[in-house]
Structure 1
Amino acid sequence: MDFLSPSTWEEALAAKSAHPDAVPIMGGTDVMVELNFGRRRPPALLDLTRIPQLRDHGPDDGYLRLGAGVPYTTIIERLRDRSPALAQAARAVASPQIRNRGSVGGNLGGASPAGDAHPPLLAVDALVELASVRGVRRVAAREFYHGPRRTARRDDELISAVLLPEPAGPQSFSKIGTRNAMVIAVASFSLALDAQARTVGTGIGSAGPTPLRAIEAEKFLASEFDWDGAASPSPATVTRFGELVASAARPIDDVRGSAHYRRHALSVMARRAVSWAVTDYRKEIARCA
């Protein structure tokens, strides 16, 4: 196995172009586990730890630009106001040691349907920035996932950043697992409200071959939500929203949970997310009054 260790971004892109089958590694929280257990043996590893700009973050034309190597701990401690749902998801990732190393870019690169970062990215309609020697392009997170561990990233491309829009309403993330920490989600759900556009975004994790949206649920809640006064939705509305979220899932039975349980859990999390959104929305209206 070859080990490539570029010191600049330009060198990294050139190395990926010359070795398209090289596996990028920065935090190593997924790749090294696969190597240690013999589940993967790539011909080359592309070490990106010496590329400083991958850990940069800051404003970018109305977005928060999050370098692909920004660790979860930084998101939790410094960026929670700019990316509330993603910060909640980051807090749910494994242990403090993993959160110090792991990143959203790594989650996107691995593209596991159970990755905690995926539902918030879908819910807020984030952009994924991909770079190669041919140039840079941005792909909506909603178009990034093509199948189990398959994405829109081309063989010669590296994930350079994620771009998150400015929050325009309440956001939340929740997941359920067999214990409170160090757990892969049995199911996860993210909700984001945009009070300016009066739209709703959702993200479903660990309940399908890819991270998913609940499009019909989004349309339904957007039409039923009281955007002017934040009155509590009727019990029937909340129940229906939960049903639509559950129906958008495509789960399977596995060692972590049954398909039936995953749908039930998503319905419960979706109903709770509506309650949290109403509470947070009222607080925002009160602050602006």
Structure 2
Amino acid sequence: MSGLSVSPDQASTAVVITPHRLDEALRARAAQPDAAPIQGGTDLMVEMNFGRRDPAALLDLTRVPELTRWRREGPLLRLGAGVTFAQLERSPFLDMVPALAQAARTVGSPQIRNRGTIGGNVATCSPAGDSWPPLIAGLAEIEVASVRGHRSIPAAEFALGPKRSALAADELVVGVSLPVATGAQTFMKVGPRNAMVISVTSLALVIDTHRAEVRAAYGSAGPVVGLVRLPLSEAHLLPDAIAEACAPIDDVRGTAEYRRHALRVLSTRAAERCLT
């Protein structure tokens, strides 16, 4: 593979495969599907440091320029998987995809946002992932690729459960596409403090003037992020609809009862913010 380098990781027994182009990365993925993709490393390195994962190889995507690019194509915004949360929390994304930009601002610390990427957050498939509610409420599609070709998967169909996805063994997440906002959007989350926390529950609300509907996606209240869609004329029903649709559990971060109550409060506040 032209430009591909392979070296041992000095801190572990893993071999590090370093492609320099997307086609090289896809061939490496096909040749060694058990290699763990890494770009920001904010999730993977925690698991490795705690001994939860010990991959035989790492597929280092930090030198693949195609993954770090973004572009607007008319009504659609296309984000490469390597776009960081530090980028997303600023202009021009604040105007194009407000809920996603607001969610990006809540991800970890500035250091984590400088490293963490939209592709990594998506691929981890955590129902507490901060990017997931804005992506699902925004009707995003996850772009994946392999040596067999490219395909797009609706965000609502990508995550099959905690840390389980529709990604095939030889595929990589290469980008995310979502419509540019046509109405007000917002993101909110509840945690034990204001920053650097995993959400107890979270919610993104999108007003879609083209479809004349309101969509709300909620996290940490089921095995995957849920979505509720209502006509704009029925937006006042949103808190009850979300409380009925969600399936929260009791865990160390909060009870199911508290999460359901919190989602009622968040959805009421989000609707007030976006509709008044």
Q: Same fold (TM over 0.5)?
A: yes
123, 131, 154: which is aligned to 1:140? 154
CA RMSD, Structure 1 to Structure 2 (Å): 1.1
Give the whole-Å Cα distance in 2 for the aligned partners of 1:145 and 1:223: 30
Pairing 1:209–2:206 present: no
Name the structure 2 match of 1:65. 78
Specify the code of the residue in structure 2 equivalent to 1:194.
D
State percent identity of aligned pairs. Answer: 51
Can you list the C-alpha shifts for 1:8-44, whole angstroms capped at 9, x where unaligned?
Answer: 1111000000111111100000000000010111221
Name the structure 2 match of 1:17. 30
The 5 A counterparts of 1:165-244 are: 165-214=179-228, 218-219=229-230, 221-225=231-235, 237=236, 240-244=237-241
Name the structure 2 match of 1:270. 267
TM-fit CA distance, 1:3: 1.4
TM-fit CA distance, 1:261: 0.4
Q: Give SS of 2:114's match.
A: helix
Can you list the C-alpha shifts for 1:220-271, whole angstroms capped at 9, x where unaligned?
Answer: x53325xxxxxxxxxxx3xx42121122111111110001100000010000
Q: Give SS of 1:105's match.
A: helix
Name the structure 2 match of 1:5. 18
Can you list the C-alpha shifts for 1:39-96, whole angstroms capped at 9, x where unaligned?
Answer: 1112211100001121111113531110101001111123111110000000010100
Give the whole-Å Cα distance in 2 for the aligned partners of 1:195 and 1:178: 34
Q: Give SS of 1:77's match.
A: coil
Contact 1:105 1:160 in 2 (8 A): yes
Contact 1:22 1:44 in 2 (8 A): yes
Specify the code of the residue in structure 2 equivalent to 1:110.
T
Pairing 1:27–2:40 present: yes
Specify the code of the residue in structure 2 equivalent to 1:256.
R
Query: Where is the helix percentage greater, Structure 1 or Structure 2?
Result: 1
Contact 2:21 2:66 in 1 (8 A): no
TM-score normalized by structure 2?
Answer: 0.92
Contact 1:144 1:151 in 2 (8 A): yes
TM-score normalized by structure 1?
Answer: 0.88
Specify the code of the residue in structure 2 equivalent to 1:249.
C
Contact 2:81 2:117 in 1 (8 A): yes
Pairing 1:156–2:170 present: yes
Specify the code of the residue in structure 1 equivalent to 2:46.
V
Q: Give SS of 2:90's match.
A: helix
Pairing 1:56–2:72 present: no
Q: Give SS of 1:139's match.
A: strand
Name the structure 1 match of 2:7. none
Give the whole-Å Cα distance in 2 for the aligned partners of 1:46 and 1:111: 19
Q: Give SS of 1:246's match.
A: helix
Contact 2:26 2:145 in 1 (8 A): yes
Give the whole-Å Cα distance in 2 for the aligned partners of 1:8 and 1:107: 22
Contact 1:147 1:210 in 2 (8 A): yes
Structure 1 residue runs of 5 or longer lacking an equivalent are 226-236, 280-289
Specify the code of the residue in structure 2 equivalent to 1:128.
I
Contact 1:29 1:102 in 2 (8 A): yes
Specify the code of the residue in structure 1 equivalent to 2:73.
D
Name the structure 1 match of 2:252. 255
Give the whole-Å Cα distance in 2 for the aligned partners of 1:63 and 1:152: 23
Give the whole-Å Cα distance in 2 for the aligned partners of 1:250 and 1:145: 16
Give the whole-Å Cα distance in 2 for the aligned partners of 1:222 and 1:153: 34
Can you list the C-alpha shifts for 1:114-135, whole angstroms capped at 9, x where unaligned?
Answer: 0000000010100110010000
Specify the code of the residue in structure 1 equivalent to 2:145.
A
The 5 A counterparts of 1:126-137 are: 126-137=140-151
Greater displacement, 55-64 / 84-93? 55-64
Give the whole-Å Cα distance in 2 for the aligned partners of 1:189 and 1:119: 6
